[in-house]
Amino acid sequence: MPTSKYYYKKLLIWRYKNISERQFVYVLSVLVGFLAGLGTLVLKNLTYFFQYVLEGKFIKDLHHSLYFIFPILGLFLVYYIKKKLIKKSIGHGISTTLHAISKRSGIIERYKMYASLITAPITVGFGGSAGLQGPAVSTGAAVGSGIAQLFHMNTKTRMLLIGCATAGAMSSMFKAPVAAIIFAIEIFSLDLAFASLIPLLLASVSAVVTSYFFLGQDVLLGFELTDDFKITDIFFFVLLGIGTGVASVYFSKIYFKITGFFEKFTNPFHRLLIGALAIGLMLYLVPPLYGEGYAIINNLLEGNAHKALNDIPYEVNFNNVWTVIVFLLIITLFKAIAMTTTFAAGGVGGIFIPTLVMGSALGNVFAKIINQLGGSVSESNFTLVGMSGLMAGVLHAPLTAIFLIAEITGGYELFVPLMLVVAISFAFTRYFVSNSIYTIELAKRGELITHDKDKNVMMMMRTDKLIEKNFVVIHPEMTLGEMLKNAVAKSARNIFPVVDHDDRFLGIVLLDDIRPLMFEQELYDKLTIQVLLKRAPALIYHDDSTETVMRKFKESGAWNLPVIKDNSYQGFISKSKLLSAYRNKLIALTN
């Protein structure tokens, strides 16, 4: 009886015979977009279910102290699931996806298709102050990689399908298909060419149609622009750009500081305990930090700051504008702290939505202060533009910041202030923080994908795959006669590595150096390798990047260099094999 493997093989054969590579990529991009959109819908609905049950049925009806209890409970549940069920690292969605692209040729483990779907809704639904965009991208990217592997697609196509999944996840999340494509191109440094643009378009449209099919016209940020941009406000937008730049630097620095603090605890349970108590306390004192924070954004856009702060437990007079400003600034400052603490404690989520929350609160504060000091500006416009400024600064994605805000709100009339604030914020942040939270660790390790194809190719190459081991090893106490008999006569290479009996590399002997002595038989028993060995022109260490290896070949002028790991000899890398591998990888990534 035919097995599933038999039918799978028949399907592959039929595909190769009847569908061209380009057409098949188009089909897969639609499929990936649909599945990424579906995964995002599942992620959102599970999260909203938990939020509806817990925040609506318990916290508001029973007691405010549950703001403290539920986030802790959620983080402990996630800790248990990761330790007992998944048993593997989930990581932060976009960062781990970028690493998979740069160092694993787009191979993403299958468990990541469902890991974030389980843990992120619990983290956020129980009150963790994080977003869902990162988990949505992680889930979609794993699906895209899995489908590419299933149909034996090459590395270039595999990376393209990961980009399609990313565009699909964002398109489904915000119903903003154009911004979704730009996000995928900016974050993953995809080629903006016809071959990649069409699949991205198909995936983005497929995902947004899926979202419309299941959710109708319902959108996360339901706001339509009503106030026009006035040129007289341009100076205030310049100030907002500087303000969002400062806030972006603060956001990034706080993230690195808190993450560094928690990394000092080697026991994950200790990180969980301290982080859970800290996030519980923050949410108890400032309840608007609970969950993602879409309600804050929408209420501020509608000019209803009182409703955005109505969960504050203190007896305060919110009819006083300065009181509202103070509490919005508290949200601005503590959203980054609460988000990072959620991650550090072991929660699973993203930074995208917290960035928007922080930006909306800051932009609204700017407008309120200006209006209180005698100005007359649109609070909704400043709220929107503040979101774009934070997004550009924190995520280092200026084009996404402009088009996302414009697309989800119909605010294309705000293009001028959007571009101005985004440019100032991005430039200011980039001066103080060279890489985004997504990319900082990859950049430190030299593993960050950019639009520089030369660097990308070298980064994706694995030097350990280039090591040649067909060199005959000799020892320093050997005589010239023994070397000629046991090494030269048996080797096709003209280099002989010299090692001691513990395999520690000592140097090399070149065939050219001993050629004049080969016929001096009286030296066969007198001359030892210890006298003949010389230093290698350069050494390649096992953890050297391909760029470093290339530089060593260039500086030394050698054609073969030894590879060393913990002082032990591993083999040689030849310049010809290195250049050949470079060319093959370049063709694979650019065809």
Q: Of 431, 453, 475, which residue is a domain's last? A: 453
Is the model's pLDDT at 95 over the cut of 60? Answer: yes
- Can you give the CATH number for the domain in which 534 is found? 3.10.580.10
Same domain flag for 166 and 245? no
CB 69 within 8 A of CB 280: yes
Residue 537's contacts (CB-CB under 8 Å, 6 or more residues apart) are 556, 557, 558, 561
What integer pLDDT is reported at residue 192 of this predicted model?
Answer: 57
Q: What is the DSSP letter of 469?
A: -
- CA–CA separation, 559 and 526 (whole Å): 31
pTM of the model: 0.78
pLDDT band at 363 (very low <50, low <70, confident <90, very high): very high
Mean pLDDT of 196-218: 83
Scan for tokens 């639904």, then name that residue.
125
Give the dihedral of Cα atoms 495, 500, 505, 508; nearest 10 deg.
-30
Q: What would the two tokens of residue 355 be?
A: 């960035």
What integer pLDDT is reported at residue 386 of this predicted model?
Answer: 93
Nearest CA to 100 out of 145, 136, 143 is that of 145
Question: Which of 41-45, 211-215, 273-277, 521-525 is predicted least confidently?
Answer: 521-525
**Overall number of domains in the chain:** 3
Scan for tokens 């993450």, then name that residue.
259
- Is 36 contained in some domain? yes
Cα 580–Cα 583–Cα 585 angle in degrees, nearest 5: 110
Q: What is the DSSP letter of 569?
A: E
Backbone Cα Rg of the chain = 29
DSSP calls for 494-551: SEEEEE-TT-BEEEEEEHHHHGGGTT-GGGTTT-BHHHH-B--S--EETT--HHHHHH
What integer pLDDT is reported at residue 213 of this predicted model?
Answer: 82
Same domain flag for 431 and 500? no
User: How confident is the model over 25-53, as pLDDT tens digits?
Assistant: 888 999 999 999 999 999 988 988 888 88
Query: Which residues are paired to 563 by β-bridges?
Result: 540, 571
User: How confident is the model over 286-310, as pLDDT tens digits?
Assistant: 888 888 888 888 888 888 887 778 7
> Which residue range(s) make up the domain with 412?
231-267+276-453
Q: Of 453, 472, 490, which residue is a domain's last? A: 453
- Is 54 contained in some domain? yes
Average pLDDT, the chain: 83
Question: Which of 121-125, 404-408, 433-437 is predicted least confidently?
Answer: 433-437
Same domain flag for 178 and 136? yes
User: How confident is the model over 240-270, as pLDDT tens digits?
Assistant: 999 999 999 999 999 889 988 998 888 888 8
What integer pLDDT is reported at residue 57 of this predicted model?
Answer: 65
CB 169 within 8 A of CB 35: no
- Can you give the CATH number for the domain in which 169 is found? 1.10.3080.10
Scan for tokens 């983290």, then name that residue.
123
CB 112 within 8 A of CB 154: no
- Is 223 contained in some domain? no
What integer pLDDT is reported at residue 56 of this predicted model?
Answer: 66
Same domain flag for 211 and 235? no
Of residues 101 and 331, more confidence is placed in 331
pLDDT band at 329 (very low <50, low <70, confident <90, very high): very high
Same domain flag for 432 and 539? no
